[in-house]
Amino acid sequence: ETYFGLKEEAKTKKVPGTILTTEDSSSPFSSFGVHKVFPDGSMVVKLFSRRDLHDSDIQPLFPRVFATFKYVWAAYPKLQPLARENWASFRLDGHALFYTSGLETGASAMEVAAIAGRNGALLMREALQRQEQRGSPPSASVSV
């Protein structure tokens, strides 16, 4: 029986396409992705692990291993965010000029950038609504 609980003869046909594990998983890998399956059943697979994988870790996953390429890099670094008082300012001019990437000084990721962009758009909408309520005509300058 294989690592995935499959019989040897079914191993290449039923291997999951993508597996993601948790930080404290006992799995030898953090992520597993099948990138290509060839007509003979052989596969190109990408594995990430928080530790160095040895052949003895890889062999139980596959019926045959033709070749392995190992590249060691800091795929899962520990982020040490800056203290809040060291973050870049979000509002640059005190009005409606926003530096949305300032949020990334606290934590940097694509998701943070998306949230920061949304926050910037919401702040701009709020500034435009305030200007409209004051009866000011639309202009290139918005005061908050």
Q: Tens of pLDDT along 23-49?
A: 777 888 888 898 888 888 788 889 888
pTM over 0.75: no
Question: What is the C-alpha separation between 72 and 76, in angstroms, rounded?
Answer: 11
Question: What is the C-alpha separation between 135 and 130, in angstroms, rounded?
Answer: 9
Check the CA dihedral 110-101-99-115 and report its sign: positive
How is residue 66 written in tokens? 């033709």
pLDDT tens across 86-129, in order? 888 777 777 778 888 877 777 777 888 888 889 888 988 988 88
Contacts of 141 (CB under 8 A, 6+ apart): 95
Phi, psi values for residue 45, rounded to 5°: -130, 140
